[in-house]
Amino acid sequence: MKHSLLSKIIKVDKLLDQQFPLFIALVLLMLLRVPNFVEPYWYGDEAIYLTIGQSMNKGAILYKEIIDHKTPLIYFLAQTHTQENFRVLLWGWMLVTTIAFYYFAQTLFSNKKWPTFIATILFVLATSLPTFEGNIPNGELFVMGFVLVGMLVLSQTSYATSFLHPKAKKVKDSPAWMYIISGSFLSLGVLTKVPAIFDVAAAAGFGFFESTNALLAAQKNRLLILKKKFVKIVPIWFFLGVGIVLPILLSIAYFVKLDAGSEYLQFGLMYNFRYAGSWGLPFDNPILVFFFSLPGKLVAMSFLTMLLVVTKKYISPAFQFILFWFGLSLFASLLSNRPYPHYYLQIAPALSLLVAGTVYEGIKMLFKRTALQNKNILGPFLATVIFTGFVAILFLLKVQKYPTVAYYTSFIQLAKREISVADYNQRFDSLMSDNYRVVETMKACPDDHLFIWGTNPTLYALADKMPTGRFTVSFHIKDFNAYDETFNDFVEDNPNYVVVMNKEDGAFPQFYQYLRKNYRPSQTQFDNFALWHRIECTVTK
């Protein structure tokens, strides 16, 4: 009995020892995210997600009665009623995502502890710190969860194992359901945000590079080898494809059933192409302009892929995949060439693997005499070049990173009661004081609807109110020339309150005429907007 108990204790101790790096990473993640739960309603995209989620909770049909231009899952995830709940969801989501990343990295690095640990810590920092908006429930973070679970499942199949360990004994073929599950998770990433399609492409890299590596290594019978690889990989890609297509087809069927199929196609899927091509570059050098165009990015990605193929003698399979995935992730983040920091979160998994692998390989080369015979001698060099290019891109596009030290310093000051909640909130956005005050003012005449002419979606989310039309911000109304539709919805819903932003300069004459006839300015003054109330509604200060 004692021997049995001792044996169990030893097993638990070994397990804790093996998982200690993951435990450290998860504790770090939880500590870094503590300030997330006391932030005010300040961030535009998060507010749009919450506004749409809250409207869906009240019966609005996504894309038909309330819209944004992303694929649908992010809005279903935002049906949490409050920002605090949304942040709790993200907290749990990132714990699971980090666990998936850890075990995926462990597979790529052949169970080596140090590169796995370094990669996981880097991943936690990249996805938790506010530098690239890791503190916000952005679509990219939810995409990562789906993608990394999909990649983790795929990494446990014969498809990935035979690529990562080409000299291993014959690996038993994995069942089709593993590929379908992997593909389904990757597809859920796409249904959260379209650029995840590039992570789907990365999954094809295992089979692609296994085939090209075997082909170039063969001295003869290359056609026969290619045929064998083709026969082996095509069924795997087929089942992956089934897993990828199935959730997308189900999403289409769901919106068709709601009589919103055409709207889903227009706003959830096709609008992304329009969005990607509508941003101007901050430079005019013709060479740079070309490489930031879609053809230029295709040329750069094709060159990287071919380079990884022809130099396979000097790059390990794991590095081939990591470099390929990094290239695709960078491509995805640059689809619209916009300088928004959260777009570059998509690079975090591949970047963390790349940096950790390079540091580990670099140290190994420095301290081992066999460095020049290292099969992966070119991998760290290419990684350094590509990482340098990534940093240069951030400067070229003038990506403005969010302050990190100030974020945590402000939280500590709040915790110590050195600053008030109002002062703390105002540090995030100048609208905070007005938004929180106007919510109290609007309680005089409760109403489910609100119309904001301008851009202040945080007020919709904070007040838990539905927009009177399909659009949450004025730039969408302008973009789709939806003035008549918006005005008709506004008149039909007849909200008790209207907010007109000071910075809104768009012409909307029929709205202003109706506003002055049927509404009165509130006696309460605000710095950033004017509040109007219906004549029948009595408003107190």
Residue 43 has pLDDT above 90, yes or no: yes
Same domain assignment for residues 467 and 388: no
Sheet of strand 519-521: strand arrangement: 466-467, 449-453, 497-501, 529-534, 519-521
Same domain assignment for residues 392 and 446: no
Same domain assignment for residues 220 and 333: yes
Residue 248 has pLDDT above 90, yes or no: yes
Same domain assignment for residues 327 and 388: yes
pLDDT confidence bin for 232, thresholds 50/70/90: confident
Same domain assignment for residues 195 and 284: yes
Length of the chain: 541
Same domain assignment for residues 212 and 102: yes
Residue 213 has pLDDT above 90, yes or no: no
Instruction: Mark which of 396, 416, 447 sits at the end of a domain.
Output: 396
Residue 373 has pLDDT above 60, yes or no: no
How many domains does the chain fold into? 2
Residue 540 has pLDDT above 50, yes or no: no
337: left (phi over 0), alpha (psi -120 to 50) or beta: left
Specify the residue for token string 């809250």: 54
Q: What is the mean pLDDT of residues 194-208?
A: 95
Residue 159 has pLDDT above 80, yes or no: yes
The per-residue pLDDT of the chain, averaged, comes to 91
Structural domain including 90 reads 2-396
Instruction: Mark which of 375, 396, 417 sits at the end of a domain.
Output: 396
Please name the residues in contact with 101: beta carbons below 8 A apart, sequence gap of 6 or more: 119, 120, 123, 144, 148, 349, 352
Residue 218 has pLDDT above 90, yes or no: no
357 in Cβ contact with 383 (< 8 Å): yes
For residue 190, is it within any domain?
Answer: yes
Q: pLDDT value at position 216?
A: 80
Residue 477 has pLDDT above 70, yes or no: yes
Same domain assignment for residues 387 and 434: no
Neighbours of 523 (CB within 10 A): 11
Same domain assignment for residues 352 and 450: no
Residue 398 has pLDDT above 80, yes or no: yes
For residue 489, is it within any domain?
Answer: yes
For residue 56, is it within any domain?
Answer: yes
For residue 334, is it within any domain?
Answer: yes
Same domain assignment for residues 312 and 453: no
Same domain assignment for residues 274 and 380: yes
For residue 405, is it within any domain?
Answer: no
pLDDT confidence bin for 8, thresholds 50/70/90: low
Lowest mean pLDDT among 310-314, 318-322, 374-378: 374-378
